[in-house]
Copies of this chain bind each other. A is one copy, B any other.
Amino acid sequence: MRGTLMDIPTYDDMLAAHERIKPHIRRTPILRSDYLSELAGAELYFKCESLQEPGAFKVRGASNAVFGLNEEQARKGVATHSSGNHALCLSYAAGRRGIPCNVVMPRTAPKAKKDAVRRYGGTITECEPSTSSREETFAKVQAETGSEFVHPYNDPRVIAGQGTCAKEMIEQTDGLDMVVAPIGGGGMVSGTCLTLSTLAPETRIIAAEPEQADDAFRSFKAGHIIADDAPETVADGLKVPLKDLTWHFVSNHVTDILTASEQDIVDAMKITWKYLRVVMEPSSAVPLATVLKNKDRFAGKRVGLVITGGNVDLDKLPWLT
């Protein structure tokens, strides 16, 4: 926080975001698999944000930021850095409004995501796959374009947008005992906290993280942000660290952070493809991986799991490589 006053989004900001973005997002279905519920020993409700048009929940926060700009800001467009889905969702939202979108992406980002950014009209500048290189490259791009920075998660407009997913989950079920969401930078988890702490304070919020990129887990235990530079995990959407705004929500509202090994994540991904029959990313399998590894924590409970995205390179499936 470095002495600055954070602009923490409120529950009303989330409600306003939902109204603003409704024409631009899908109310995605909650899908179920009796087989996976039996396997877990819990009632599982999968909120399939993979079924958004650009394939990820990040279209919610991105649309809220893009459609909340005034005309003068909008003319200069938006800019961001992102490991993937925020980039293509911001490009998608900017395309719907007809404004420019400048994206800094690691050169190692999945080709499927780069292709989608370009298809939606975004302009990509590549950087090295480290937080430091990304931030440096981005500063240059923003200085040149003057476009509005929409951070992939540490932005109140983005967090308010992501919070609309949890609102729909509660509306679409008869309530949930727990929600489990993947954690990378913490945008989805923060939005979930923002919404549930008011709408359903009895619902516990569990963050799910790869063991090999467990900076949020270590931060949570230590009581302050610990950031790693460029961790390696198959869950490529979850490599980024917490920032002040997301740390605010994680430290105040998350019940626990659970981790899963690379093999657990790939196994959970494959059985979800097989039995739920949705195409989803490795990152989206981390919640189920942690539930199956901690069955006693979830036994008999009504558990909502967020399937965060479905943009996968179908030529490089992790159980076939």
- Are A270 and B314 also in contact (CB < 8 A) when A278-B277, A278-B279, A279-B277 are? yes
- Given the known inter-chain contacts A273-B314, A315-B319, A319-B315, please indicate yes or no for A53 contacting B34, CB distance below 8 A: yes
Docked pose: A110 CA to B95 CA in angstroms: 43
Contacts of A34 in B (CB 8 A): 53
Q: How far is the CA of A74 from the CA of B233 in the complex (A)?
A: 52
Q: Count of chain A residues with Cβ under 8 Å from any Cβ of B?
A: 23
Known: A29-B29, A270-B314, A314-B270. A51 touches B277 (CB 8 A): yes
Q: A35-B53, A53-B34, A277-B278 are in contact. Are A320 and B315 (CB under 8 A)?
A: yes
Whether the pair A274, B53 counts as a contact (CB closer than 8 A) is: no
A280 to B274, CA, bound (A): 10
Give A271-321 interface residues, CB cut-off 8 Å to B.
Answer: 273-274, 277-280, 310, 314-315, 317, 319-320
Whole-angstrom CA separation of A274 from B111 in the bound complex: 13
**A34, B277: Cα distance in complex, Å:** 20
Q: How many chain copies does the complex carry?
A: 2
Instruction: For the complex formed, measure the closest distance between the CB of A298 and the CB atoms of chain B, giving whole angstroms.
Output: 21
**Residue of B31, B277, B310, B319 touching A280 (CB-CB under 8 A):** B277
The answer to whether the Cβ of A10 comes within 8 Å of any Cβ in the partner chain is: no
CA distance A53 to B276 in the complex (A): 8
Whether, in the assembled complex, A50 has its beta carbon less than 8 Å from a beta carbon of chain B, the answer is yes
- A50 vs B279: C-alpha distance in the bound complex, in angstroms? 12
Q: Which residue of B lies closest to A50 (CB)?
A: B277
> What residue in chain B is nearest A30 (Cβ atoms)?
B29
Is A61 among interface residues, defined by CB-CB distance under 8 A? no
Q: Is A123 among interface residues, defined by CB-CB distance under 8 A?
A: no
Q: How far is the CA of A315 from the CA of B29 in the complex (A)?
A: 27
Report yes or no: A310 in contact with B53, Cβ–Cβ below 8 A.
no
Contact flags (1/0) for A257-280 with B, using CB distance below 8 Å?
000000000000010011001111
Expressed in whole angstroms, the minimum distance between the Cβ of A38 and any Cβ of chain B is 11
A36 to chain B, nearest CB (A): 10
B55–A277 contact, CB under 8 A? yes
Q: Report which of B53, B278, B317 forms a contact with A33, defined as CB distance below 8 A.
A: B53
Nearest CB of chain B from residue A85's CB, rounded to whole Å: 13
Q: Are A31 and B53 in contact (CB under 8 A)?
A: no
**Cα of A320 to Cα of B321 in the assembled complex, Å:** 11
B residues near A314, Cβ cutoff 8 Å: 270, 273-274, 317, 319
CB under 8 Å from chain B, chain A span 150-204: none
Chain B residue nearest to A120 in the complex (CB): B35
A285 shortest CB reach to chain B, Å: 13
Closest 10 pairs between A and B when the two form their complex, measured CB to CB: A277-B310, A277-B279, A29-B29, A50-B277, A273-B279, A34-B53, A273-B314, A274-B314, A279-B279, A51-B277
